Amino acid sequence: MTGSSEYQPPQNRSPQGQRLQDAWNHATTPVGLPELAWRPALAAQLSKSWPSAREEEWKYSPISQIQAYQWSPVADEVRFELPEGVEACRMSAVSGSVLDRVKSLMNIPPAHRFNAMAWIMDQDVWVIRVPRGLSPSAPLRVFAPRGSEGSWSCAAWILLVEAEAHLSVVEYYGPQASATSWGARFFLESGSAVEHLRVQSAASDSWGFAESIALVGENARYVQTQISSGGKMCREDAVVRLQGRGAEAHLDAVFMARQEQVLDHRTNIDHEVGDTQSHQLYKGLLADSARGIFNGRILIRRGAVGANAAQLSQNLLLSPQAEINTKPELQIDADDVKAAHGAAVGQLDAEHLFYLQSRGISEEKAKEVLLLGFALEALRGLRDPELLKIGNSQIEAEANLMLRTRKSEALASESSRSGKLP
């Protein structure tokens, strides 16, 4: 070939895309780490055009709307409440075996470019360490930045749970009037256990991209429960790698979307070795013209004999305009494994309604009880009473909000009808 110059990306970059790319170009590799293998690829993606709905990854997301805001990416602060005995230090201060574990966590690529921003902009993230055998009675509380007008907040943190240690984690994540990239990476050593509750309560004008990546070692148990209800659009990616025999992961979530909200949940579970288990229950409650997305990827690698993966996506559509896009993606490269998946989309069950009504519960109240029950099932993996309490009250508040708006809308349409009467 003659005269052909090097390929140039199309020049349809928006000001927003330009800003993100500039920030990206100026960002350096996180302190204390070698160049990360995934960085150039994701940087290249960012330097191309803004993602469009034509990309499979963003097919159902109104991602193009963000461009108009022209937010500047900034590193933001994470706040922690540490239980006794749990230690915190900056990534730049870690060394030795702790650094090795941080490196193995950091080598995993983020699911997409906006998640990558969390780790690139936040240069020197906090590393929280739970020493071997420690089981604090109080949960670790983590508060993601709320963001500020005009900025795209980026923040991330790392959790190392040493052998036989047990920890409960509550993450509060709720951007206000902005966009947020929020990342969490967990390293669970052998025999450790983590119960992780993430409460997403973004403001209705906000955009969120959150990710969790967990490496789960031998006989370690990772439970993640997500409750998502806020944001104009929030996408949450959960990546789990089951790396040791006897490792298990339980990923459960409920997303409750109203109006024009888009709540997008992606999971990616990798059974790297045999005798590992994963269980997922993703529950969508969608009202008005809200849209929910669930994409659940499961990979059972060659030789991972005795792996057991179960995935269930259950969705209730409360209005004819509400929408759910649910898709399992199973790749099974081993024999002698169990893998099951199912998806259900529907309305409230008429037999359930009759059963409750036959016990004196009005139709209205029966619907409330059933909706709440549907959502509360997402807490099935939690054992820590404190986390259960937080989860219960969050779901109750959000379900009530959903019912109240539905009721007031019904009343509004009622009064507009009666308004026509002379």
Partner 1 sequence: MSATSMEKPALLEVVDLHVNVQGKPVLKGLNLTIRPGEVHAIMGPNGSGKSTLSKVIAGHPDYEVVSGQVRYEVNFQMRDLLELEPDERAKEGVFLAFQYPVEVPGVSNRNFLRTSYNAICKHQGTEALSDAAFDQYLKSKMALVEMDEKFLDRGVNVGFSGGEKKRNEILQMAVLSPRLALLDETDSGLDIDALRIVSNGVNRLKSRHNAIVMVTHYQRLLDHITPDFVHVLAGGKIVETGDKSLALKLEEKGYDWLL
Among 360, 385, 419, 422, the residue binding partner 1 under the rule CB under 8 A is: 360
Q: Does 107 bind partner 1 (CB under 8 A)?
A: no
Token representation of residue 281 = 């229950």
Q: Does 33 bind partner 1 (CB under 8 A)?
A: no
Cβ closest to partner 1, residue 129 vs residue 367: 367
Q: Does 374 bind partner 1 (CB under 8 A)?
A: yes
Shortest Cβ 387–partner 1 spacing (Å): 17
Name the nearest CA neighbour of 66 among 111, 15, 28.
Answer: 15
CA dist 386 → 40, 45, 169, 195, 403 (Å): 42, 41, 10, 11, 26
Q: Does 351 bind partner 1 (CB under 8 A)?
A: yes
What are residue 168's phi and psi, to 5 degrees?
-105, 140
Stretch that binds partner 1, among 3-11, 87-95, 323-331, 348-356 (CB under 8 A): 348-356
Contact by Cβ (8 Å): 367, 353: yes
Q: Does 350 bind partner 1 (CB under 8 A)?
A: yes
Cβ closest to partner 1, residue 95 vs residue 362: 362
Among 177, 330, 376, 403, the residue binding partner 1 under the rule CB under 8 A is: 376
Stretch that binds partner 1, among 41-49, 185-193, 293-301, 344-352 (CB under 8 A): 344-352
Shortest Cβ 177–partner 1 spacing (Å): 34
Cβ closest to partner 1, residue 154 vs residue 366: 366
3-state SS, 145-164, equals CCCCCCEEEEEEEEEEECCC
Cβ closest to partner 1, residue 66 vs residue 395: 395
Stretch that binds partner 1, among 143-151, 295-303, 330-338, 346-354 (CB under 8 A): 346-354
What is the separation of C-alpha 50 from the centre of its chain, rounded to a whole number of angstroms? Answer: 22
Among 15, 34, 303, 373, the residue binding partner 1 under the rule CB under 8 A is: 373
CA dist 163 → 73, 190, 218, 375 (Å): 37, 5, 9, 33
Stretch that binds partner 1, among 86-94, 117-125, 305-313, 355-363 (CB under 8 A): 355-363
Residue burial 304-332, b: 16+ Cβ < 10 Å; e: rest? beebbbbbbbbbbbbeeebbbebebeeeb
Shortest Cβ 310–partner 1 spacing (Å): 16
Q: Does 343 bind partner 1 (CB under 8 A)?
A: no
Among 35, 355, 397, 404, the residue binding partner 1 under the rule CB under 8 A is: 355
Distance CA 369, CA 376 (A): 10
Contact by Cβ (8 Å): 127, 100: no
CB neighbour class for 2 (10 Å; exposed up to 12, middle 13-18, buried from 19): exposed
Shortest Cβ 284–partner 1 spacing (Å): 14
Shortest Cβ 354–partner 1 spacing (Å): 6
If binding means CB under 8 A, how many residues of this protein chain bind partner 1? Answer: 24
Any residues with CB less than 8 A from the CB of 165 and at least 6 apart, and which?
130, 131, 132, 133, 134, 135, 189, 192, 193
Shortest Cβ 278–partner 1 spacing (Å): 21
Q: Does 366 bind partner 1 (CB under 8 A)?
A: yes
What is the separation of C-alpha 39 from the centre of its chain, rounded to a whole number of angstroms? Answer: 21
Shortest Cβ 347–partner 1 spacing (Å): 14
Any residues with CB less than 8 A from the CB of 310 and at least 6 apart, and which?
278, 279, 280, 338, 339, 340, 341
Indicate the length of the chain as a whole number: 422
Shortest Cβ 380–partner 1 spacing (Å): 9
Instruction: Report the interface residues with partner 1, using CB under 8 A.
Output: 349-352, 354-363, 365-366, 369-370, 372-377
